[in-house]
Homo-oligomer: A and B are copies of this chain.
Amino acid sequence: MTEFDDATQVDPTGSACIEPGWDIGGHANGGYLIALAARHLRAVAGRPDPITLTAHFLAPGTPGPVAIDGEVLKAGRRLVTVSGAVRRDGRPMMHLLGAFGDLADDPVAAGGGFEWHASGPPDLPPMDDCVLRAKRPGIPVPLLDRIDVRLRPADAGFATGQRSGVAEVAGYLAFDDGRPWDTLGLLFACDALPPAVFNIDMPEGWVPTVELTVHVRGVPRPGPLRCAFVTRHVSGGRFETDGEVWDSGGRLVALSRQMAMVPR
């Protein structure tokens, strides 16, 4: 049993536990919470792969028991659409809406169809030339004990007070215990790197994510993911962060977009 699989266990009735150690300063990582919910929702859907999944975060995810509900809204031939909720003591922590499918059973998803890309995987130097994201004094980030994050040197300066001035963060991502990536893991990967806005002079503080949507494009091959996150527009008190996740073979496996609030 890997750490990630252990921490995303859900019993058939939807009872689960937000495990400690997947948090930033006491708040569970949003991608971890989505993966936890999706593990139940994919069982409800009867299809293994999240194809597009949207989550709204209504309350911080602190460690402890939760109840996950799921409902099939429509069972189509290729996609099963579901809604879901994660609650503690009856109070909503997260609501979800998504579609699940079976990528292994889909020859086009496996790479047989028309492909077109405006750009390729992020341009990363070899892993050993990237900057290992380490825990630092200040806000505790236990999450960093679970994953191996190696940032592109040009994006890593924020950690030492030298912001690049461009809201981008790219790097390699792997589980510390070597767990291979699958489509459930990709949901976590889309929220596992430090925020791209750390590289611009945005006011600091708690940055609550309102909504996160992940589109899964394929089943990742073994090896570290190559991830790139970019924020193009901070305005009206809000900003988006768009993610691209590519597998070790250079294939796009997920896109993500989240909307968060600028600290006041």
Contacts and interface: CB of A to CB of B under 8 A. Distances in A.
A115 B262 CA distance: 10
A132 interface: no
Interface stretch (A1-9, A13-21, A235-243): A235-243
Interface residues of A, number: 63
A16 to B, nearest CB: 19
A167 B238 contact: no
B58 A109 contact: no
B97 A83 contact: yes
Given A114-B203, A217-B238, A257-B257, A54 B54 contact: yes
A222 to B, nearest CB: 18
A211 interface: yes
Contacts of A119: 232
Contacts of A239: 116
Nearest to A118: B232
Contacts of A124: none
A38 interface: no
A9 B4 CA distance: 48
A118 B230 contact: yes
A165 to B, nearest CB: 10
A186 interface: no
A109 B236 contact: yes
Nearest to A211: B52
Given A54-B211, A58-B73, 17 more contacts: A51-B259, A52-B211, A54-B54, A54-B97, A56-B81, A56-B99, A58-B81, A109-B237, A110-B236, A116-B202, A117-B235, A118-B233, A119-B232, A213-B257, A235-B252, A242-B242, A257-B257
Interface of A: 51-52, 54, 56, 58, 73-74, 76, 79, 81, 83, 85, 92, 95-99, 103, 106, 108-111, 113-119, 166-167, 200-203, 210-211, 213, 215, 217-218, 230-240, 242, 244, 251-252, 255, 257, 259, 262, 264
10 contacts: A52-B211, A56-B81, A108-B237, A108-B262, A109-B238, A117-B235, A213-B257, A217-B233, A235-B251, A236-B252
